[in-house]
Amino acid sequence: MNGDWLIRGRDGRLGVYLPTEDAVLCRAELGPGGPWEPPRKVGGDQKLRPGAGIGQGADAYAHLAAWRPTKEGEAGLVHSTHFRPRLAPLDWMSIGHPDKTGDRTGTPAVTVDAQGRAHVFVRNREGGVSMRGQKEVGGWGPWRDLKGREVEDRLAAVTGESGRVELYAAVPGAVLHWRQEKPGSVPVLEEAMETPVRAGTLQALATSPENTTLFYADDSGDLCVWRPGTKPVTLLTSAGPGPVAAIRCQLDGHDCTLLAQRSASGRVAFAAYPTEQESAGAWWTESGPQLPSDALVALAVDEDERVVAATLSPSTGQLLVTRRKDEPGLALEAWREV
């Protein structure tokens, strides 16, 4: 899954999206803190290819994009909207292929602008990036070729506090950054920042009215932080090999960025620091049981503004959840399976 697969919906309930070999499942809390409803398929009975993208707008609606097989050796992208975690998502609707026809070209990334319009990004056949966005009056605009070369999989799409859409992509020896010049416009390639970046580790977060922040691992395993227009800084050593989950939250009255990652030991590691103040430093604290090597980690904030963390193992289907206790610091409740 590419994007925030743990979300808080418009009704305040938490929901999760779970990948299978040929579908995406969803589950939701039936009440604050659980219990949770059984899994159900997103978008009907259409079979999907593995690897979906998820984005959520300021209206709390979730947008999903995935590939579905169309005929032998070919696939097309489909889109679904989920208005509330306890409602059924809309059926999958075709949004075509960035190259008109062909096989799957990469994992889609999804973000939603201030007007509630979904933007779907994906690698194209030439190794660049293509995008298709919803129109404000309904329907979809055309596929746009945003250029780029040798783009790695797992793009990171994000909408800034300004409401403008941005995209980050790893290429050999660099990170590319696209940004809308104004709401509703086509994102343009603004900057290429040279850095030894480890593919599959990009995670972007809106961190102020002016900035979005990119987290990524470099070749040495350090977790680095970059805001376009500045130089990247090393925050700390990565806890494990995969991407970090990142959210902004209030911790003891301070605006903080909280990171979580499956550590090399197999547990979940957390680190927090004042938002955009990397010089303050951060360090990992591990929590919970040992997890399978394919376990994913996600973060959210519930309707009481408490931090929630979840882990999911696609191989076992095990979903674990914990919440922050009502006490100073980042003390967590016991992890429980749902």
Enter the DSSP assignment of 279: G
- pLDDT score, position 337: 94
Enter the DSSP assignment of 15: E
Q: In this structure, are residues 223 and 235 in contact, taking their beta carbons and an 8 Å threshold?
A: yes
| pLDDT over 70 percentage in the chain | 100
Asked if the structure places residue 105 within a domain, the reply is yes
Asked if the structure places residue 71 within a domain, the reply is yes
Asked if the structure places residue 302 within a domain, the reply is yes
- pLDDT score, position 190: 94
How far apart CA 273 and CA 258 sit, in angstroms, is 7
What domain range includes position 22? 6-337
Token pair belonging to 29:
């809390």
Range 73-77 average pLDDT: 97
| pLDDT over 90 percentage in the chain | 92
Asked if the structure places residue 42 within a domain, the reply is yes
| Rama region for 201: left / alpha / beta (φ>0; ψ in -120 to 50; rest) | alpha
Residue 257: Cβ-neighbour burial (10 angstroms; 0-12, 13-18, 19+) = buried
Residue 65 scores a pLDDT above 90: yes
Per-residue pLDDT tens digits for 319-332? 999 999 988 889 99
Instruction: Compute the residue count for the chain.
Output: 338
Q: In this structure, are residues 77 and 66 in contact, taking their beta carbons and an 8 Å threshold?
A: yes
Asked if the structure places residue 123 within a domain, the reply is yes
CA 231 from chain centre, in angstroms, equals 24
Q: pTM for this structure? A: 0.96
Confidence of residue 243 (pLDDT cuts 50, 70, 90): confident
How far apart CA 56 and CA 41 sit, in angstroms, is 19
Asked if the structure places residue 174 within a domain, the reply is yes
- pLDDT score, position 328: 86
Q: For the range 231-235, what are the long-range contacts, defined as Cβ-Cβ under 8 Å and sequence gap of 24 or more?
A: 232/193, 232/195, 233/278, 233/279, 235/271, 235/273, 235/278, 235/282
Per-residue pLDDT tens digits for 259-285? 999 999 999 999 999 999 999 999 999
Asked if the structure places residue 1 within a domain, the reply is no
Dump the DSSP string for 22-48.
S-EEEEEBSSTT--BPPPEESSSS---
Confidence of residue 199 (pLDDT cuts 50, 70, 90): confident
Dump the DSSP string for 198-232.
-TT--EEEE-SSS-EEEEEEBTTSEEEEE-TTS--
Looking at the 3D structure of the chain, how many domains does it have? 1
Asked if the structure places residue 280 within a domain, the reply is yes
**What CATH number has the domain bearing residue 181?**
2.120.10.10
How big is the CA angle at 300 (ends 295 and 302), to the nearest 5 degrees?
130
Residue 248 scores a pLDDT above 90: yes
Residue 31 scores a pLDDT above 90: no
